[in-house]
Amino acid sequence: MRVITFLLLIGLIGCNNEIEIPLPFPIVVTEEVTKLTAQSVEFSARLMETNATEEIIDYGFVLSPYPNPTLSRNSASNKGNPGKSFSSSVNQKNLAHARYVVRAYVRTKTRIIYANSVTFIGNEIPGSIAI
């Protein structure tokens, strides 16, 4: 029986045809922070094409001075499906001059999917020089 399983695996690996296995959940990617002004910082994210079967029920961003932020009671979210991309902004006045980590997330009925983390410096005015 093991020999047959092994031969089947070798046959699948050696096959030149690509097999696409759809993921049941969506994959989300946090984009680099590009809109950083004296007043606000804007985050954006995009959803990868995965043919996901699980419906997105809410989405948003988590922000923290610590690595790998997760959802908490203080996190803001948006209901429904964001489409192919979504964004959000935070008032710079609410941020200290410190390093922050942001990452996007989407939630389905069965799981929370977090994106990659992106780091930026809060309350930093672009083009300014610290003395």
**Residue 2 phi, psi (nearest 5):** -65, -35
pLDDT in tens, 4-55: 444 444 455 555 567 767 778 899 999 999 888 888 889 999 999 777 888 9
pLDDT on residue 16 = 58
The chain-wide mean pLDDT, for the chain, equals 80
CA distance 42 to 87: 7
Contacts of 90 (CB under 8 A, 6+ apart): 40, 41, 43, 63
pLDDT in tens, 45-100: 999 977 788 899 999 999 999 999 999 765 667 888 888 999 999 888 888 888 99
Distance between start and end Cα atoms, the chain: 72
CA distance 61 to 17: 38
Banded pLDDT at 101 (limits 50, 70, 90): very high
**3-class state of residue 80 by DSSP:** coil
pLDDT on residue 113 = 94
Q: Alpha helices, DSSP H only, in the chain?
A: 2-14
**3-class state of residue 2 by DSSP:** helix
pLDDT on residue 7 = 42
CA distance 45 to 122: 19
Banded pLDDT at 103 (limits 50, 70, 90): very high
Domains of the chain: 22-121 (2.60.40.2060)
